[in-house]
Amino acid sequence: MLDTDVASRPFRQRLSPALTAQLADHTHAITFVTLGELTKWTLVRHWGLRERSRLDGFIQDVVVLPYSDLVARRWGELRAYAQLRGRARPQNDTWIAACCLVREHPLATLNRKDFEDFVEYEGLQLINES
């Protein structure tokens, strides 16, 4: 699973060779949340036709994992547990973590600190950049 920061790299800069190698030969997937975040960027950043076409091509080449009742319930659990620990997490990161945990997929992210609580308390697996 690609976090939004990893999925957006082709549009901003390249991924490190180490992460590129780890992701090679694997099916790339993003969550419905990442699709929403990338779509938002096209509007807020006034992307032109060329950039939007690149995004459309990227979306056609990845699996977009949809919302499900299981993901929604897991999201609710994650939000509640984090709140009870006194460390509420950002909503979109929680949705992405919930998708990964329900489907038992590791997450490739460049923002490891955003997901450390999910790793420590919920068993989320992260793909390291190095």
User: d(Cα 107, Cα 101) in Å, to the nearest integer?
Assistant: 9
Give the mean pLDDT of the chain: 91
Q: Which pLDDT score is estimated for 4? A: 92
| Residue found by looking up tokens 């390249």 in the block | 14
Give the other-Cβ count within 10 Å of 121's Cβ: 13
Q: Over 80: is that where the pLDDT of 77 sits? A: yes
Tens digits of residue pLDDT in 30-68? 999 999 999 998 999 998 998 889 889 889 989 999 999
Range of the domain at 89: 4-8+17-127
Number of domains in the chain: 1
89-111 mean pLDDT: 96
Give the count of beta carbons closer than 10 Å to the beta carbon of residue 30: 23
What DSSP assignment string belongs to 47-96?
--HHHHHHHHHHHHTSEEEPP-HHHHHHHHHHHHHHHHTT----HHHHHH
Q: What pTM was computed for the model?
A: 0.89
Residue 110's CATH number: 3.40.50.1010
- Distance between CA atoms of residues 68 and 102, nearest Å: 10
13 pLDDT band (50/70/90 cuts)?
low
Query: Three-state SS for 129?
Result: coil
pLDDT of the residue at 82:
95
Predicted pLDDT at 27? 87
